[in-house]
Each structure stands twice: as structure tokens, then as C-alpha cells.
Amino acid sequence: MRIPYTKAHGAKNDFLLTMAADAPQENLAEAAIAICNRYTGVGADGWLIVNHPPEGESSYDARIRLFNSDGSEVEMSGNGTRCAAAYILDAGCKKTDVTIVTGAGPKQMKVLSAEGFVYNFEMNMGSPKWTKEELHHRLKIEGEVFDCTILNVGNPQCAVFVPDFDFDWRAAGAAIEKHPYFPNKTNVSFIYRLDKHSIDVRFFERGAGETMSSGTGSTGAATAAVLRGMVTSPIHVHTPAGPLELKWNGGSEDAFLTGPAEIVARGEFYYQAEK
């Protein structure tokens, strides 16, 4: 089977996008593992299956499903949702405000700029959810205790506060992701405070492993730092792929994340389903 794809990235967090009508109609998890493989496939952190709204539906511009590179289907990705918005704009959508329906509900994005294949969006990430008990949580991994804030920003996040990155945070992220405390696994961010408006973050994402950046991870990290009183809005989130900016003043307010999405390639993946 030939699967057409568009490749895009949001701050080097990369995704493949395929219209639902062009994707396999079954075994999508298996297909996601194949197409996302960086050696035998196209290579990506995740695969987005895109549906246009039915005729006459005007409340949203596209509906997406997200499969991580390990085949797991998850609620959403902030960077991936921006890539989906860039995908439909490039396909001819003329709006300056775009709504994408994700597994975590509809997400609204304002188009801040569009130059060629490069777009910049302000995305409403919704209102973060947390409990008082999980604001200051101690998570024990092989005898080491990590200082965490556990919250949900459309998907589960474990924000870990560290004095530096001079330790094997990738191994720690892999262990935290699968810790029994998280029955459905979790995304992990490691946070180092720079100043009252800036944090430096490393990401280990559920089902994808280390990523250069993460929209929901940046949202979780920044809001956790606000909740801890370490930073105030706006927060500059420094990632290995460059900066993202989050605005959030706490409480039940929605958080707004500003970041890029760029379309970089199109092609076909020659997929052979396992027998």
C-alpha cells in the first residue's frame, strides 16, 4: 500500500500527516510503528491522521488522531496540533483562526505569521488540571527521590525539578514514564529555573522517548513552575530546539503557547502490513 504523507515539525518535534481516506483502515498502530521508524520508514516522533469536517460543519477545521512512534494512540500533542494547523492552511484553508479537534477536545490557534511553509501560532492549550496533593510529589526511582509536580494539560505530565542536567535524565525519564504511579504512563519534563521568566527543559515523551521539544511538555513544565512560585508569566521555555513562550497567570485561566510549525517534505511510504 502507498501511504501519502506530509512531514512537518514544531520546534524539531517531527510528525507525519496523512488524510484518513489515504491511511490503512485497520491496524493503524502497526502502520504508525512502520512509518515512524527512522531507519526503515520515513521517521518521526508521531503520525497524525487528519479528517476534514463533514459538509456543513463549521465549528472546527480538522479532526486528528495521534499515534506515537511506538504505535500508542494518545490524546494530543501541542507541537503536533500546530503541525496539523499548518497542514490544512497549506492545503488552502484561508482562516486566521483555526480549530483542530484532538483527543483532548478542540484546540484553537491564532495564526501570527505565515511565510512560505513556515507558520507561527498562538495556541490555546486549555486550563491545566492538578490536585493539591500532587503539586509537591516525591517520586522514588531505584532509591533516588525526584521532586515532581503532576498535572494534566490535555495529556498527563510529570514535571521534575532539577538543579542541573548533569545526570542520566533520559534513563530517569524512561523509568518515570513507566512508574506504577502512572497506570497509563506519563510524559516527563525535567526543569531547571533560569530566572523569574525563564526555564530550561528536557523532554522524555510517553511513547516517543527523548524529543527536542514538546508543546504539551512545555505547557506542563511552565505551569508547574508557576504553581511552585518559581516563575511568572510570560514564561520563556528554552528547549534543545529553541524557545517557546507560554502565558498563564494561574488558577482556572487557559494557558496560551506560542510556537512554530514548518512543513518540510511530502512523499509516499510503501507500506506492507505484517501477515
pLDDT score of 274: 75
Residue 133 shares a structural domain with residue 87: no
Give Cα 26 to chain centroid, integer Å.
24
Is the peptide bond prior to 234 cis by the omega test (within 30 degrees of 0)?
yes
**CA 217/CA 139 separation, integer angstroms:** 18
**Same domain for 116 and 142?**
no
Secondary structure (DSSP) of 197-249: TEEEEEEEETTTEEES--HHHHHHHHHHHHHTTS--SSEEEEETTEEEEEE--
Quick check: is 6 in a domain? Answer: yes
Same domain? 248 vs 133: yes
150 and 212 together in one domain: yes
Low pLDDT (below 50) residues in the chain: none
The verdict on residue 150 lying in a domain is yes
Please indicate, yes or no, if residue 231 is contained in any of the structural domains. Answer: yes
Q: Are residues 48 and 157 in the same domain?
A: no
Return the DSSP state at 253: P
| Position 275 in a domain | no
Residue 108 sits in the same domain as residue 173: no
Please tell me the pTM assigned to this model. Answer: 0.93
Looking at residue 203, its pLDDT comes to 98
List pLDDT tens digits, range 136-186: 999 999 889 999 999 999 999 999 999 999 999 999 999 999 999 999 999
Q: What is the CATH number of the domain that holds 79?
A: 3.10.310.10
**Residue bearing cell 493539591:** 132
Do 99 and 150 belong together in one domain?
Answer: no
91 shares a domain with 46: yes
- What pLDDT score does 73 carry? 97
Residue type, 105: G
Whether residues 33 and 67 fall in one domain: yes
**Parallel, antiparallel or unpaired: strands 46-51 and 13-19:** parallel
Q: Structurally, how many domains does the chain consist of?
A: 2
pLDDT value at position 142?
Answer: 85
Whole-number pLDDT of residue 275: 63
What burial letters (b/e) apply to 126-138, b meaning 16+ CB within 10 Å? bebebeeeeeebe
Report pLDDT digits (tens) over 27-51. 999 999 999 999 999 999 999 999 9
Residue-number span of the structural domain to which 162 is assigned: 129-253
What CA–CA distance (Å, rounded) separates 36 from 43? 4
Q: Find all residues with CB under 8 Å of 23, minimum gap 6, and list them.
A: 3, 31, 49
